[in-house]
Chain A
Amino acid sequence: EADIYQTPRYLVIGTGKKITLECSQTMGHDKMYWYQQDPGMELHLIHYSYGVNSTEKGDLSSESTVSRIRTEHFPLTLESARPSHTSQYLCASSRGLALHFGNGTRLTVT
């Protein structure tokens, strides 16, 4: 079973703050992903990476940015948080065809 860690689990911040959601995996997976999850909606892919120094935007437009300097680390940054960013953010990794997910970060922007 893949080990993938997300911090923080819960975050409440004010509008305009800069935040970084952390995601790390210990399995050496090349592919990593960020999904946004809202109640009653499908998971939306917002960013993905196929390896170090590789990042792409997903299907859902997002004001966030990501970086992939190390294989195990794939942080997501919001330069200026807004209430519309309130959501659950799920990080995942894969080597083959199955995704392995972290426990998520639930973000609330007030």
Chain B
Amino acid sequence: AQSVTQLDSQVPVFEEAPVELRCNYSSSVSVYLFWYVQYPNQGLQLLLKYLSGSTLVKGINGFEAEFNKSQTSFHLRKPSVHISDTAEYFCAVTSAGTGNQFYFGTGTSLTVIP
């Protein structure tokens, strides 16, 4: 079975400060990892994904994430946040072994403070 743990339910950060949103997964097989963002009253939008290759993945809006197999982590980072980054962020995992079913974390609410 696969699962995703997002360690922080809420993260407040000042504008232009760096931020890291943490994600750990559990799986005994090779995985594919994703970060999604959800703005108020909208669906989820793909930020970035790790399928294979380089462990540092760059996404939209200046976000990046690093896949760490030994620590089973896929933390999301941004060096300087903007007010418009205020949203809910979800980490997700899937693998061929699960028929490509996706498992999501409980989300991290990022609030950027002016």
Residues of A within 8 A of B (CB): 4, 6, 9, 31, 33, 40-43, 45, 48, 58-59, 90, 92, 94, 97-104
Contact = CB atoms under 8 A, between A and B. Distances in A.
B34 A101 contact: no
A41 B102 contact: no
A4 to B, nearest CB: 8
Interface string B39-72: 0011111100101000000000000000000000
A97 B22 CA distance: 22
Nearest to A2: B46
14 contacts: A9-B41, A31-B100, A40-B106, A40-B107, A42-B103, A42-B105, A43-B104, A97-B94, A98-B34, A98-B49, A99-B92, A101-B36, A101-B45, A104-B41
A42 B4 CA distance: 9
A99 B102 contact: yes
Contacts of A98: 34, 46, 49
Contacts of B26: none
Interface string B70-114: 000000000000000000001010100000111111110000000
B27 interface: no
Given A40-B106, A43-B90, A97-B49, A102 B100 contact: no
Interface residues of B, number: 24
Nearest to A50: B99
Contact of B51 (A97, A100, A104): A97
A41 B106 contact: yes
> What 6 pairs between A and B have smallest CB-CB spacing?
A101-B43, A43-B104, A101-B44, A42-B104, A103-B43, A42-B106
Contacts of B4: 42
B105 to A, nearest CB: 6
B30 to A, nearest CB: 12
